[in-house]
Amino acid sequence: MAEQVYWEDVSEGMELPALVKEPTTRQLVQYAGASGDFYEIHYDKDFAQGNMLDGPILHGALKSAFLGHLVTDWMGPLGTLKRLQCQYRGMDAPGQPITAKGSVTRKYEENGQYLVDCDIRLENPQGQNTTPGTATVMLPRRQG
């Protein structure tokens, strides 16, 4: 389990610990079953290639989940993920590692909540940002 991050420990500009994911075609088939997204470009090589792709590509929602994993691991068990959004700007393929990264862009108090905004992203092995996004988390304070 991740250590707890407290609002007092966060500063604007700080980096979230990177999270490397190594998706496989098997994982895509499992995700298709769990999500109900059985579009063949995500697991059938011949079908994907017949649709002008090099091969299967990751589900967009799975990529979003990887970003959610990055943020929730960082914030710890007492944090609350208030908002997460991302855009799919590039395709990622199974068999290639993708790295979830992020940084704190804003730290503020609003309506009695201690909030942190983050820029988040997935990078392919070439360092291209294929999935830019943002997240807002609510963190606990050390003293109540």
pLDDT in the model for residue 143: 82
Task: List pLDDT tens digits, range 33-91.
Answer: 999 999 999 999 999 999 999 999 999 999 999 999 999 999 999 999 999 999 999 99
The reported pTM is 0.95
| Domains of the chain as residue ranges with CATH | 7-138 (3.10.129.10)
Reply yes or no on whether the pLDDT at 2 is more than 90. no
Distance in angstroms (rounded) separating the CA atoms of residues 37 and 31: 8
Distance in angstroms (rounded) separating the CA atoms of residues 89 and 27: 21
pLDDT in the model for residue 39: 95
pLDDT in the model for residue 56: 96
pLDDT in the model for residue 1: 53
- Within 10 angstroms of residue 20's Cβ, the number of other Cβ atoms is 11
Could you give the percent of the chain with pLDDT greater than 70? Answer: 98
Reply yes or no on whether the pLDDT at 19 is more than 60. yes
Task: List pLDDT tens digits, range 81-127.
Answer: 999 999 999 999 999 999 999 999 999 999 999 999 999 999 999 99
Q: Calculate the dihedral angle through the C-alpha atoms of 84, 30, 39, 65, rounding to the nearest 10 degrees.
A: 10
Q: State which H helix or E strand residue 20 sits in.
A: strand 15-21
